[in-house]
Structure 1
Amino acid sequence: MKKAEADLRIVLGGKTRAGKSASGNTILRGKVFKSTSSSSSSVTSECQKETSQFEGQTLAVVDTPGLYETKLTEKEVKREINRCISFAAPGPHVFLVVIEPNRFTEEEHKTMKIIQNIFGEEAARYTMALITHEDDLTEENTIEEVISKHRGLSNFISQCGGGYHIFNNRSKDPSQVRELLKKINTMIEKNGGSCYTADMFEKAEKAIKKEMERLQNENQAMTDKEVRAKAERRNEFTQESRVAAIFRAAAAAGAGVGIGTRVGVRIGAVWGPVGAAVGGTVGIGVGLAVDAVRLKMKPNDCVTQ
C-alpha cells in the first residue's frame, strides 16, 4: 500500500479570531476553511484537514477550534484533540501558532509551556509563530518594533524553534507562502529532516494503517488518498479515550480545574494555548501535577519526502 501522506503536515493553533482559518486558506491558496474574516458569526467548531499542492510540495493543513473560548463539552474536547492527532499522524512538521500581535494575551504567553507539557519538551523545536494582520503595520510601526515593545510576545517568539513569519491574509501574493515554507523547511533541516512525533502520534498512525487495510479490503476501487482520509477521521485511536494525560498536563501549565454541580471542560485555543478550564460558578480549583504524565519524545524516521 502506498503511503498517501503529505510532504508537509502543518497544524494551526491559536485562539478564536486570531486568523487560523484565514491563514490556512492563504497557505492552501483557496477558500477551504471557514474564516471569521468573511463572517462575523462563523468560527471553526471542529478540526478540519485539507491538502493542496504548492510548487511541488503536497501540503496538509489541520485547522483547529479555539477550544478555550467555545462551549464544547468534555466529550467534544476529547474528540477534537484525538482527531487533530490523527489528522497530523505520523507527526506534524510544524505547529504554527497564529497570533494577532496587537491582541497578544497572557494566555497565549503560556502556549509554549502547554505545548511542551502535552507533547514533550522537544515540541518547541517544531513550533513557529505566524503573525497575522501584516497590513496593519506601518513604516513607523514595524513588526520588529511591535515585538520589542511587547515583552510577552517577544518572550514567546524566543521560545519558538522556528522563529516567526508574518502574513497578510488579504494578499494573493504567493511569495509570502513561499517564504513561510522556506522557513519551515529550514527548521525541518535543522531538526535533522524529521517531523515531530511522540507516542500518541505513533499509536494514531498504527490505528490509521490498520483502518486503511480494512477499508481497502472492503472497496479496492478507493484511491489511497480517499482511504487515508476516511481512516484518519475514524479509527481505533479516535474512538478511544486517550486524552486523560492531556487534560492533566494542560491543567498543570496554568489552567484551573473546577469541580461543581455541572462540570464543563474547555481546553484553551489548541496549541495556542491548549489549556483546560472547567466551568461552573460553583467549584473548587485544584492544581494537577504533570510529572507522572509527561509525554516523552521518541526517535523516529519520519522524513520530509
Structure 2
Amino acid sequence: MSAAASPSELRLVVLGLTGAGQRSAVCTILGLQDPQQGPDAADIQECSKHRGEAAGRQVVVVSSPAWFGSDCDPEERRRHISSFIALSSPGPHAFLLCVPLNQPAEGEAKALDVLKELFGPSAVSRNTIILFTHTEELDEDEPLEEYLVTWRKDLRELVERCGDRYHTLEARSGEPEESKAVEELLEKVEQAVADSGARHFSCPLYQEAKERVRQRQVEIVRQRRGKELNGQLTDSPPEENVTEEEMEAVREEAERSIDDLNVDVDSIFPFSASVSPSSPAPPFLWGLWEKLTGWMRWVSTLVRREALLGALVGLFVGGPFGGMMGATVGSVATEVKRRNTQKTK
C-alpha cells in the first residue's frame, strides 16, 4: 500500500486570509519550535507541503495562499487551487480554515462559500474545521466558547456551517499545552472522517488531480529510464514495469508539476477586484477595529467589553448625544453582566 493511501497518515489543508496565522498553525501541528523551520516567515506566497509526525500519527500538512480573495489574479488563483489540490491528493482528511478572533469574519464566510462552490457542500459541512487564531483577544479567564456565544455571532455562524467543529492550537493559562491541543485537533479530524463515512474527502476535482498525478508519475519514471523517444512513449501500457516504489519516489515532483486543473474560476469567482463580498474591509475600518480591540485589552482590568459596546454606540451615533447614549449602554451592559454573574455563583 502506498504512503498516500495509508490510513495512518492524515492529510490536512490549511487555509486562511493573509495574516490569519497559517504559518504558525503549520509549525505547531508539526512540532517545529522555530517558525523559520516551517513555511516562509512572511505570509504564505506559494502552496507548500510538509510531512511530519504529530501525536503518534504521520501527518501531511498542505498550506496555501489566500486565493479566495477578490484581489487575486485569475490565473494565479487557478494555479494556487490546482497546486494545493494536487499536493493534497487523493484527498484531504480535513480543511483547516484559520480564523483570527481579532477581526470580523466576512472574508472567512466568503472562503466557505468558495469551498462549497469548488468541492460541494460536504467539503464545508463534513470536512472543514474552524481553527481559531489570535486568541489574545480573549480575557485571561474567558473560555473560547463563552466568547463566541456572548460576543461573536459572525464566528458562531462559521462554526455552525462547519458542523459545529472548531479548535484552537494557541495554549492559554490553565489550558492544555500545544502538544495536547494538536492531539485533540487530530482526534477531531479523525472523528470528522468517521462521521463522513469515507476514507478521506473526494470530489471530481480531486479525482482529476489523482489521475493527473499518477500519469505524471509514470512519465517521470519512464523518462528517467530512458524509455521516451522523440516525445513518444513506448506502446506498452503506461504502468507496465513501473513499481509502486518508483511511483512514490517521484510523487511530490509529479504533484508540483500540476498547476492547470479544470477549475472554472470565472463562474466561481464572478466578482471584480473592486467590489466583492470577499474583499477585506476598507483600511480605515480595519484600523478602527484594531484600535478598539487594542484599547479594550489595554483597559481590560478596569473596563471590559461592556464599555466597548458603549464606545461603539457613541462612535457611530456621534456628537454629545452619542456620547451620552454610549455611556448609558455601557453602564447597562455592565450591570446586566454583573447580575448574571451573581446568579451563576
Interval of TM-score (by shorter of Structure 1 and Structure 2): 0.7 to 0.9
Asked if 1 retains the 8 angstrom alpha-carbon contact of 2:50 and 2:61, the reply is: yes
Q: Is the 8 A contact 2:68 2:111 kept in 1?
A: no
Q: Deviations over 1:114-159 (max 9, x none)?
A: 2111111111210100011345533443212221111110011011
Match of residue 195 from structure 2:
190
Secondary structure at 1:216's aligned position in 2? helix
Distance 2:277 2:224 in 1: 38
Q: Using the alignment, how far apart are the partners of 1:57 and 1:23 within structure 2? A: 17
CA distance in structure 1 between the aligned counterparts of 2:263 and 2:169, rounded to whole angstroms: 32
Distance 1:80 1:178 in 2: 29
**Which residue of structure 1 aligns with residue 267 of structure 2?**
248
Matched residues in 1 for 2:177 and 2:224: separation? 40
Query: Given the superposition, is the C-alpha separation of residues 162 and 4 from structure 1 closer, same or farther in structure 2, using an over 3 Å criterion?
Result: farther
Q: Give the C-alpha shift of residue 203 in structure 1.
A: 0.8
**C-alpha separation in 1, matches of 2:92 and 2:58:** 13
Match of 1:297 in 2: none
Secondary structure of the equivalent of 1:96?
strand
Question: Aligned to 2:23, which of 18, 21, 24?
Answer: 21
Normalised TM-score (structure 2): 0.65
Relative to structure 2, which stretch is displaced further, 175-184 or 137-146?
A: 137-146
* Structure 2 partner of 1:150: 152
Find the residue that maps to 1:174 and give its secondary structure: helix
- Structure 1, residues 151-186: CA drift from partner, whole Å, max 9, x if none? 110011011136100121799731111111011111
Per-residue CA deviation, residues 179-206 of structure 1 (Å, 9 max, x unaligned), is 1101111111111142111111001101
Q: Report the Cα distance in structure 1 between the residues aligned to 2:86 and 2:276, rounded to whole angstroms.
A: 20
Specify the alignment match of 1:3 in structure 2.
Answer: 2
Q: How far apart, CA to CA, are the structure 2 residues paired with 1:112 and 1:241?
A: 20
The count of residues paired between Structure 1 and Structure 2 equals: 250
Letter in 2 for 1:129: I
Residue equivalent to 1:47: 47
**In 2 relative to 1, CA 172–187 (structure 1 residues): closer, same or farther, beyond 3 Å?**
same
Q: Does the residue aligned with 1:197 lie in a helix, a strand or coil?
A: coil
The root-mean-square deviation of aligned C-alpha atoms, in Å, is 3.1
More contact order relative to length (CA 8 Å, sep ≥ 6) = 1
- Structure 2: tracts of 5 or more residues without a match: 226-242, 281-345
Letter in 2 for 1:29: G
Using the alignment, how far apart are the partners of 1:56 and 1:115 within structure 2?
30
Q: Does the CA-based 8 Å contact 1:134-1:167 persist in structure 2? A: no
SS at match of 1:103: coil
Give the match for residue 174 of structure 1.
179
1:128 and 1:160 in contact (8 A); partners too: yes
Deviation at 1:217, TM superposition (A): 2.8
Kindly tell me: are residues 11 and 198 of structure 1, through their superposed partners in 2, closer, same or farther at Cα, counting changes over 3 Å? same
Contact 2:170 2:178 (C-alpha < 8 Å) held by counterparts: no
In the TM superposition, what are the counterparts of 1:1-305 in structure 2 within 5 Å? 3-5=2-4, 7-30=9-32, 31-35=37-41, 42-67=42-67, 72-124=72-124, 125-148=126-149, 149-161=151-163, 163-168=165-170, 173-219=178-224, 225-235=248-258, 238=259, 240=260, 242-244=262-264, 246-251=265-270, 256-257=271-272
Return the TM-score normalized by structure 1: 0.72
Alpha-carbon contact 2:117-2:268 (below 8 Å) kept:
yes
Cα distance in 2 for residues equivalent to 1:60 and 1:110: 26
Q: Is the 8 A contact 2:93 2:200 kept in 1?
A: yes
Q: Is the 8 A contact 2:128 2:162 kept in 1?
A: yes
**1:62 Cα deviation from its structure 2 partner:** 0.9
